[in-house]
Structure 1
Amino acid sequence: MTDTVLESAPAPVSFWQAFWFWLKLGFISFGGPAGQISIMHQELVENRRWISEKRFLHALNYCMVLPGPEAQQLATYIGWLMHRTWGGVIAGALFVLPSLFILIFLSWVYIAYGDVSWVAGLFYGIKPAVTAIVLQAAHRIGSRALKNNILWALAGASFVAIFALNVPFPFIVLGAAIIGYFGGRYAPNIFNASAGHGASKKSYGAALIDDNTPTPSHALFSWSRFAFVFAIGFVLWIIPMGILCAIFGWQHDFTQMAWFFTKAALLTFGGAYAVLPYVYQGAVGHYQWLTPTQMIDGLALGETTPGPLIMVVAFVGFVGGYVKALLGTEHLFLSGALAASLVTWFTFLPSFIFILAGGPFVETTHNNLKFTAPLTAITAAVVGVILNLALFFGYHVLWPQGFSGYFDIGAAVIAFAAAIALFKYNRNVMHVIGAAALIGLAIKTFF
């Protein structure tokens, strides 16, 4: 172990080296936020050692309390920390763009030909594997974050709150933050995020951005820079919105999509599942951009493509633009692709602003217990929420028609095998997903 501890930090990473990594991540980021965070931890903390675990978790804690997709925001944060504003923009954009292009293609196949039978087989295998991946992510994050009995109790309480009492996620975050704030004042040893971190150093070695690495100059907080970033963000929102209003009018579906998904982006506390009911009510009930069945199929597509699960909004936009022929019947694909791109822009723009404007403030707090203690408590609470998500997946996968329906033995076998591969044999997430997809396709084809 001593050799590992003394291992020097890796060589500096160039912008283009990072670019190719973020591009690769955009294509392999399956498994929802928990799976994606797990992949990033394995690649950035354990394998490449670009950032220490303490700095990684501190950034993750900040992303957890923001509205928006936390995994995409975490990629943006680390990219920004390493290579300034353009590093963050590239990391965040490449986390989303592969998913956008894949979903535009799959949405077109779905709506134009109505034949997704081959996709159904892949879904059948992937869904149980995703359940195992989320469960493993809860274990991985919990084993790092739950350093004492108080934090374990906090995770348990958050699970009960969301599972049994149906407490909204923002209230769970707020309650954990309050507990962490007072805990940091009156029991600092319990809520010290760095407690026990020495074990992590023995495991992974020195990092390029280590616990005590000084904050780079571009990440230092200033009110002028904070205001400048927010001003740029507002301009990037108001210009396309103004163009849509000028060309199509306020009531046109393109403009309403931009406005609706701007609001949705600011309500996504707790990840995609927290905002899906809002999207469902608006897109299906109010605007009628798609049917309830199409919404469920879109969620399945979103679950089994790389990128944030909230990318299901691209499917919603494509189907709405295509079916309503918003650019005329001769341009159906273009109508759908433009709508999908618009809703993606307005959904993710706030995430970039939150990171690029708020990141410098967060960097000033990573050694300040007054700020880190609430975030430590939030991380503990989120472990319980992720466990609830795993049970949510498991219920819908193993009892697809509810408890009164049949128990899906095939899905249970795939989930169990995936869990064994992940927990016992430490198999790569992508290998598990690929194998499960092929098994699901075979089962649906031959049985």
Structure 2
Amino acid sequence: MSQTTPPIAMDTIDAPAAVRFRDAVLFWLKLGFISFGGPAGQISIMHQELVERRRWLSERRFLHALNYCMVLPGPEAQQLATYIGWLMHRTWGGVVAGALFVLPSLLILIVLSWVYIAFGDVPLVAGLFYGIKPAVTAIVLQAAHRIGSRALKNNVLWAIAGASFAAIFALNVPFPAIVLGAAVVGYIGGRVAPHVFAAGGGHGKAGADFGRAIIDDDTPTPAHARFSWSRLTGVLATGAVLWLVPMGLLTAGLGWDHTLTQMAWFFTKAALLTFGGAYAVLPYVYQGAVGHYGWLTPTQMIDGLALGETTPGPLIMVVAFAGYVGGYVKAVFGPDSLFLAGAVAACLVTWFTFLPSFLFILAGGPLVESTHGEIRLTAPLTAITAAVVGVVLNLALFFGYHVLWPDGLAGGFDAVAALVALGAAVALLRFKRGVIEVIAACAVAGLALSLF
């Protein structure tokens, strides 16, 4: 008589051996080169690799960290990598994980930005970008739809989105003012009608069990991740020095009004306004970098977003493109050092954009680790996310105008670009095709249309 062997419970599987710092570095470097697909794709890759396959940490601890990163301004996927690296290998682990998440993208974008500026007028390159620009318009429209479907859960939040759209479209209200106004509305609304502003949320609770992990649900918080005032003070003081020293050198050596100094200041502010992801900060970037400072043109902004979509790393790396073009066009080191000017400007804006993200994790991580309950989005953040929908919709219209009427309303309507944009929108919204896939198809179409 045969006897059925009982299944092995997942929680009886031994946890993997502790990960050496060298092995972790190699993983973070690999992740930096394969992190395509925007925040959702990047978080999915980390979940598959670190929770399901390698079992570095449990599902619940992963989502606990993710929910905290979702509350912060800045790129949540990069901050999540920083958090996990810090939790496993102390401060240097977090710094290395976060830096390697960004560094490959920075190097690739510097090269692509140089090719774009140096050879953008070559018919081959111009043809490719002729098809890419309408695709980017459709991608931003999809972003507004994606954020809106998740965030706008009641009429009040719809009203906030509509008000933010009207404010930036009709009144040209600065993006920081819209964020501040939404936060105030959310703060008051959270007290008066908290159920209305409970529409936001993190990524849910853990539901799957992939076996024991190195950092499991019941694993005690490591000593370096426990909160202490001295550690918090040290992190904040270090962050202040890392910001003040380069900013002070730029101001003293070049002057406050120099292009590089203004870039450092502008992108510091941008780093603190990225609630809702990179698409939320793009309106602020185009208001400043395009409208106020003139570092790049509207068309170049669209092209930069296309390059950001097709390279690994966080989408907010489009700021590196903006920095490169601004430094190159303004010839900040003279007409004989244009590549150097662009490369230095790209590195500079990347530094000031991502420095706050590291500080948020290294300073706030111990507070998060002090409780393993789910962290929820606050009422002000829920209102900000709703406002972001209106702002991103305005961005889609801004891009659409410059793509479909490239020479202004007096110059005529580009029907071919409109057809490419419509095809891209259908592919993204109806058939759920990937962003890179759609950009590649539209680039080929643009090249073919430009040749015939």
Question: Structure 1-normalised TM-score?
Answer: 0.76
Q: Name the counterpart of 1:336.
A: 342
Which of 219, 243, 252 lines up with 1:246 in the alignment?
252
Which of 356, 368, 373 lines up with 1:362 in the alignment?
368
Q: Name the counterpart of 1:374.
A: 376
Structure 1, 246-255 or 100-109: larger mean CA deviation: 246-255
> CA 1:211–1:162 in 2, change beyond 3 Å: closer, same or farther?
farther
Q: Name the counterpart of 1:261.
A: 267
Q: 1:41: Cα distance to partner? A: 2.1
The one-character-per-residue Cα deviations of 1:22-57 (angstroms, maximum 9, x if unpaired) are 111111222222332222222222232222222112
The one-character-per-residue Cα deviations of 1:310-364 (angstroms, maximum 9, x if unpaired) are 1111111111111111111111100111111111111111111111111111100
Q: 1:97: Cα distance to partner? A: 0.8
Q: 1:120: Cα distance to partner? A: 3.1
The one-character-per-residue Cα deviations of 1:75-121 (angstroms, maximum 9, x if unpaired) are 11111001100100001001111111111111111112224347538
The one-character-per-residue Cα deviations of 1:273-294 (angstroms, maximum 9, x if unpaired) are 2222222122122221122221
Aligned mates of 1:310, 1:192 — CA distance in 2: 22
Residues 140 and 279, structure 2, Cα contact 8 Å, conserved in 1: no
Local SS of the residue matching 2:337? helix
Aligned mates of 1:336, 1:118 — CA distance in 2: 24
Aligned mates of 2:387, 2:24 — CA distance in 1: 31
1:104 maps onto 2:110 in alignment: yes
Local SS of the residue matching 1:58? helix
> CA 1:179–1:319 in 2, change beyond 3 Å: closer, same or farther?
same
Aligned mates of 1:356, 1:346 — CA distance in 2: 16
Which of 296, 315, 318 lines up with 1:309 in the alignment?
315
Which of 193, 196, 200 lines up with 2:208 in the alignment?
200
> CA 1:171–1:221 in 2, change beyond 3 Å: closer, same or farther?
farther
Any gaps of 5 or more consecutive residues in structure 1?
143-152, 422-431
Aligned mates of 2:355, 2:108 — CA distance in 1: 20
> What is the percent sequence identity of the aligned residues?
58
RMSD after superposition: 4.3
> CA 1:444–1:287 in 2, change beyond 3 Å: closer, same or farther?
closer
The one-character-per-residue Cα deviations of 1:399-423 (angstroms, maximum 9, x if unpaired) are 9759x9745564357447973x8xx
Local SS of the residue matching 2:208? helix
1:257 is matched by which residue type in structure 2? M
Structure 1, 332-341 or 204-213: larger mean CA deviation: 204-213
Q: 1:195: Cα distance to partner? A: 8.8
Q: Name the counterpart of 1:24.
A: 30
Aligned mates of 1:81, 1:178 — CA distance in 2: 35
1:49 maps onto 2:55 in alignment: yes
Local SS of the residue matching 1:355? helix
Structure 1, 165-174 or 239-248: larger mean CA deviation: 165-174
**Superposed counterparts of 1:81-92, under 5 Å:** 81-92=87-98
Q: 1:180: Cα distance to partner? A: 9.4
Residues 122 and 440, structure 1, Cα contact 8 Å, conserved in 2: yes
1:335 is matched by which residue type in structure 2? A
> CA 1:356–1:19 in 2, change beyond 3 Å: closer, same or farther?
same
Residues 397 and 411, structure 1, Cα contact 8 Å, conserved in 2: no
Q: Name the counterpart of 1:426.
A: none
**Superposed counterparts of 1:284-433, under 5 Å:** 284-367=290-373, 372=374, 374-375=376-377, 401=404, 406=418, 408=421, 410-411=423-424, 414-415=427-428, 419=432
Q: Name the counterpart of 2:3.
A: none
Residues 182 and 387, structure 2, Cα contact 8 Å, conserved in 1: no
Residues 58 and 366, structure 1, Cα contact 8 Å, conserved in 2: yes
1:248 is matched by which residue type in structure 2? L
The one-character-per-residue Cα deviations of 1:180-206 (angstroms, maximum 9, x if unpaired) are 99999x9xxxx9999974x411xx222
1:36 is matched by which residue type in structure 2? Q
Question: Structure 2-normalised TM-score?
Answer: 0.75
Residues 71 and 381, structure 2, Cα contact 8 Å, conserved in 1: no
Residues 318 and 338, structure 1, Cα contact 8 Å, conserved in 2: yes
Aligned mates of 2:334, 2:386 — CA distance in 1: 48
Residues 169 and 274, structure 1, Cα contact 8 Å, conserved in 2: no
Aligned mates of 2:383, 2:330 — CA distance in 1: 43
The one-character-per-residue Cα deviations of 1:151-171 (angstroms, maximum 9, x if unpaired) are xx9856797466555486778
Aligned mates of 1:47, 1:357 — CA distance in 2: 29
Q: Name the counterpart of 1:38.
A: 44
> CA 1:22–1:378 in 2, change beyond 3 Å: closer, same or farther?
farther
Local SS of the residue matching 1:330? coil
Q: 1:253: Cα distance to partner? A: 1.1
Residues 280 and 388, structure 2, Cα contact 8 Å, conserved in 1: no
Aligned mates of 2:202, 2:110 — CA distance in 1: 41
> CA 1:378–1:362 in 2, change beyond 3 Å: closer, same or farther?
farther
Aligned mates of 1:66, 1:383 — CA distance in 2: 12
1:28 is matched by which residue type in structure 2? I
Residues 132 and 303, structure 2, Cα contact 8 Å, conserved in 1: no
Aligned mates of 1:192, 1:120 — CA distance in 2: 37
> CA 1:192–1:386 in 2, change beyond 3 Å: closer, same or farther?
closer
Q: 1:5: Cα distance to partner? A: 4.5
Aligned mates of 1:256, 1:19 — CA distance in 2: 34
1:280 maps onto 2:286 in alignment: yes
Any gaps of 5 or more consecutive residues in structure 2?
1-6, 166-177, 406-413
Q: 1:375: Cα distance to partner? A: 4.5
Aligned mates of 2:96, 2:83 — CA distance in 1: 11
1:411 is matched by which residue type in structure 2? A
